[in-house]
């Protein structure tokens, strides 16, 4: 078998003092923390689009990464990509992957030909998975790149575009089921609008929900019992994207009665584009019972777009892992690196370095999150902060026993209790003490 990631050994855990660039410093897959191995806690996944397909193009220049894998014919490239993907996952010890239909196959001249291409490559991936413990985390359909989606897919004004998207989604669901995937993602890249001068927003949202309901009906009929996810993102490529953030998506799911089948796939860089933090978005999903999966990456605070960098911020990873642990951890979901190397980092070694840094960052985040929990001071502070609701009038408020009139009477009769400090600075020192010990 041809080697694509030449000269790269199997990446092993060597500990924090190792200077071997092809070793993990913190990710020790089999180390058990709170009854589960790191590998089970983190469920790392490889994104096919950034890792196997993206060439490093940007609006000002051509690609810098050769993605032909030594082949010239498009289906041969697709097959070689599968070999290269499995080689990389094995070398990194990654047990899951995620893909869009068009990442794994070239689009044919029409839907029929694309469907045939998909069937050949999905069979090939299925064959490749045999004898490994590599699984599909989730599949999806790319309903945003083709010019036919210029007005949207499920939200298009053109009913034939809606129908094409539905067909693509049907085939991507079939591929997901064939490969035993535990999730199916909707990311609404073109589901949004540029101006209300040409848009009926209510009509478009009703249609987007219609398409999702059809997908659920079809997949459940075919025996899919995994999760559907919506991946929120506020903008890019459209100006006003309908799945703006976790709270907006939850409102949509409730309005259209989709809460039973859908959870959220929260992406770090999408959170910051929405003016939130990644842990905030995870917390919104958690408290509403729809935390599902994660697209891990990070943006650049000086750039206003989705840079999809490999995550390196340990503090953010720690606070995010705390949220994920509080949400009960990953069940059908996992931690997909929706991340790419920078355009000048064009070698295959760079991709491996990217994954090593991302995996080590989240491994350290997991370790530190458990140290925060074990330390207990932060959780204890939060609990004590609401102590005024444990007895007296606070308790009666929580028990829904009082009215506005009764509260007015209480306030007229009683002296207000003194304020207590929020202690943010003190809590930040605790976090730093744990992070840097
Ligand atoms: C785009 C993005 C997508 C989704 C899947 O910003 O995150 O790659 O993850 O369509
Ligand atoms: Co994503």
Instruction: Give the phi and the psi of residue 163 in degrees, each rounded to 5.
Output: -65, -40
Using the predicted structure, report yes or no on whether residue 197 has a pLDDT greater than 90. Answer: yes
306 touches ligand 1 (CB under 6 Å): yes
281 touches ligand 1 (CB under 6 Å): no
Using the predicted structure, report yes or no on whether residue 1 has a pLDDT greater than 90. Answer: no
Other Cβ atoms closer than 10 A to 135? 16
Catalytic residues: 100, 103
User: Residue 399 and residue 397: Cα distance in Å, rounded?
Assistant: 5
Which ligand has the nearest atom to the CA of 236? 1
Which ligand has the nearest atom to the CA of 307? 1
The model's pLDDT over 278-293, given as tens digits with 9 standing for 90+, comes to: 999 999 999 999 999 9
**Is 306 annotated as belonging to a binding site?**
yes
The model's pLDDT over 382-429, given as tens digits with 9 standing for 90+, comes to: 999 999 999 999 999 999 999 999 999 999 999 999 999 999 999 999
Q: How confident is the model over 58-76, as a mean pLDDT?
A: 97
- Full set of structural domains in the chain with CATH: 29-375 (3.20.20.150), 378-436 (no CATH)
Nearest CA to ligand 1 atom 6: 306
Angle at 213 between CA 208 and CA 214, to 5 degrees: 100
Going from the C-alpha of 87 to that of each of 73, 94, 127, 132, 138, the distances in angstroms are 21, 10, 14, 11, 19
267 touches ligand 1 (CB under 6 Å): yes
103 touches ligand 1 (CB under 6 Å): no
The confidence score (pLDDT) of residue 259 equals: 98
Sign for the CA dihedral angle at 164, 165, 170, 173 comes to positive
Among 129, 21, 1, 43, which Cα is nearest to 329's?
43
What is the 1 CA–ligand 2 centroid distance (Å)? Answer: 32
User: Residue 312 and residue 368: Cα distance in Å, rounded?
Assistant: 14
Q: How confident is the model over 141-162, as a mean pLDDT?
A: 98
User: Residue 50 and residue 296: Cα distance in Å, rounded?
Assistant: 13
The confidence score (pLDDT) of residue 389 equals: 98
Using the predicted structure, report yes or no on whether residue 129 has a pLDDT greater than 90. Answer: yes
User: Residue 75 and residue 124: Cα distance in Å, rounded?
Assistant: 11
The model's pLDDT over 20-40, given as tens digits with 9 standing for 90+, comes to: 999 999 999 999 999 999 999
User: Residue 99 and residue 338: Cα distance in Å, rounded?
Assistant: 10
Q: How confident is the model over 204-219, as a mean pLDDT?
A: 98
Query: Residue 306's pLDDT band (boundaries 50, 70, 90)?
Result: very high
The confidence score (pLDDT) of residue 108 equals: 96
**Is 308 annotated as belonging to a binding site?**
yes
What is the 266 CA–ligand 2 centroid distance (Å)? Answer: 8
Long-range contacts from 252-259, C-beta under 8 angstroms, 24+ separation = 252/205, 252/209, 253/290, 255/209, 256/209, 256/212, 256/213, 258/209, 258/212, 258/213, 258/216, 259/289, 259/290
User: Residue 136 and residue 20: Cα distance in Å, rounded?
Assistant: 30
Going from the C-alpha of 206 to that of each of 170, 214, 225, the distances in angstroms are 19, 12, 25
Query: Residue 166's pLDDT band (boundaries 50, 70, 90)?
Result: very high
Alpha helix (H) residue ranges in 200-273: 201-221, 246-255, 268-273
The model's pLDDT over 367-379, given as tens digits with 9 standing for 90+, comes to: 999 999 999 999 9
Mean confidence (pLDDT) of the chain:
98
What is the 10 CA–ligand 1 centroid distance (Å)? Answer: 28
């Amino acid at each position: 078998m041809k080697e694509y990631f030449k000269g790269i050994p199997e990446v092993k855990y060597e500990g924090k003092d190792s200077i071997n660039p092809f070793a993990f410093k913190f990710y020790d897959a089999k180390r058990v923390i709170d009854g589960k191995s790191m590998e089970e806690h983190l469920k790392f996944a490889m994104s096919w689009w950034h890792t196997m397909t993206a060439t490093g193009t940007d609006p000002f220049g051509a690609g810098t990464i050769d993605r032909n894998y030594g082949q010239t014919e498009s289906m041969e490239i697709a097959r070689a990509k599968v070999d290269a993907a499995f080689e990389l996952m094995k070398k990194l010890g990654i047990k899951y992957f995620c893909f869009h239909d068009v990442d794994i196959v070239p689009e044919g001249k029409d839907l029929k030909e694309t469907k045939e291409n998909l069937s050949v490559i999905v069979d090939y991936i299925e064959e490749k998975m045999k004898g490994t413990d590599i699984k599909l985390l989730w599949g999806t359909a790319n309903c945003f790149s083709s010019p036919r989606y210029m007005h949207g897919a499920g939200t298009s004004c053109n009913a034939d575009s809606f129908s094409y998207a539905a067909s693509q989604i049907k085939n991507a669901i079939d591929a997901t089921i064939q490969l035993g995937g535990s999730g199916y993602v909707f990311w609404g890249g073109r589901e949004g609008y540029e101006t209300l001068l040409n848009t009926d927003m209510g009509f478009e949202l009703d249609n987007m929900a219609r398409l999702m309901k059809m997908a659920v009906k079809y997949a459940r009929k075919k025996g899919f019992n995994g999760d559907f996810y919506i991946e929120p993102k506020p903008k890019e490529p459209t100006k006003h994207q309908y799945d703006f953030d976790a709270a907006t998506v939850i409102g949509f799911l409730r309005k259209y009665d989709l809460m039973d089948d859908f959870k959220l796939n929260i992406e770090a860089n999408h959170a910051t584009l929405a003016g939130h933090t990644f842990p905030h978005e995870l917390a919104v999903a958690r408290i509403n019972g729809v935390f599902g999966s994660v697209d891990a990456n990070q943006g650049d605070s000086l750039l206003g777009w989705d840079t999809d960098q490999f995550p390196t911020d340990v503090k953010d990873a720690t606070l995010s892992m705390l949220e994920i642990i509080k949400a009960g951890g990953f069940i059908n979901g996992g931690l997909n690196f929706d991340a790419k190397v920078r355009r000048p980092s064009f070698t295959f070694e760079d991709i491996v370095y990217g994954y090593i840094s991302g995996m080590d960052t989240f491994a350290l985040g997991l370790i530190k999150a458990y140290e925060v929990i074990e330390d207990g001071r932060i959780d204890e502070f939060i609990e004590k902060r609401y102590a005024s609701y444990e007895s007296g009038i606070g308790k009666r408020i929580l028990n829904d026993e009082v009215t506005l009139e009764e509260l007015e009477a209480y306030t007229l009769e009683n002296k207000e209790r003194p304020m207590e400090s929020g202690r943010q600075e003190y809590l930040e020192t605790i976090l730093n003490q744990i992070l840097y010990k």
